[in-house]
Amino acid sequence: MRISELSRVSGVPIATIKFYLREGLVPEGVRTSPNQAQYDDAHVQRLRLVRALVGVGGLSLAATKNVLGHIDQPTGLTLDLLGTAHQAVAPALPDEVDLTPAVSLLRRLGWDACADAVGSDDEGRVDDTLAGLAIALAALDDAGFVVEPERMDTYADAMMQVARAEIAGLPTETPSAAVRYVVLGTVLVEPVLLALRRLAQREASAARFPLSARDLLEQQPR
């Protein structure tokens, strides 16, 4: 198909497609003349993937390139693969982070594979996901927002259920399929989980305060 049809089928404007082509996010079509190229279904799929990463994923162009690079040419697998995929989509983090509370939490949860991996990077880099947990815990602390150990266990248990289902479904046919699954599962499923949590809060709130919480709360002194 020509670029005009590619645009129609994918729903992506021609100018945007040309930009993605220039940036190398979408591979060139097959030239049929100096001013024309033919595209196929693979281009449609790729365009949709780029739109999803840039849109909902909220990734920068650089991060999107990075993620696509991992999908196109996977280098590591499973633990490596997960680390690489997470690294590709992790936000930039400050250099100095105290990992102690995060590691203590992992030990308490019995997540020893994660806790043991601390500091094992050959180049001495701190794992971004672990650093992300440490920073998130520090922010709770800074804001004076106490999360009791039982609550943290609930969070960890819920996330472990999620993770077990996801890892059980990890495709092992090809490294490329595995990386695609992990990267997209990380970037695209996060907003689903967060939206479900917020909606579940409302559902649980309706169940806890079936009549009128407004009345209930207005009886309390302000």
Question: Least distance from C-beta 132 to a copy of itself, angstroms?
Answer: 5
Determine contact, residues 87/128, Cβ cutoff 8 Å.
yes
Nearest CB to a copy of itself, comparing residues 21 and 117: 117
Q: Which of 42, 115, 108, 121 is nearest to 76 (CA)?
A: 121
Nearest CB to a copy of itself, comparing residues 29 and 67: 67
Q: Cα–Cα distance between 99 and 117 in angstroms, integer?
A: 12
Q: Cα–Cα distance between 46 and 31 in angstroms, integer?
A: 18
Question: Least distance from C-beta 98 to a copy of itself, angstroms?
Answer: 13
Q: Cα–Cα distance between 210 and 49 in angstroms, integer?
A: 42
Question: Least distance from C-beta 32 to a copy of itself, angstroms?
Answer: 27
Question: Least distance from C-beta 157 to a copy of itself, angstroms?
Answer: 7
Which residues, at least 6 apart from 101, have a Cβ–Cβ distance to it below 8 Å?
Answer: 134, 137, 138
Nearest CB to a copy of itself, comparing residues 123 and 142: 142
Nearest CB to a copy of itself, comparing residues 62 and 143: 143
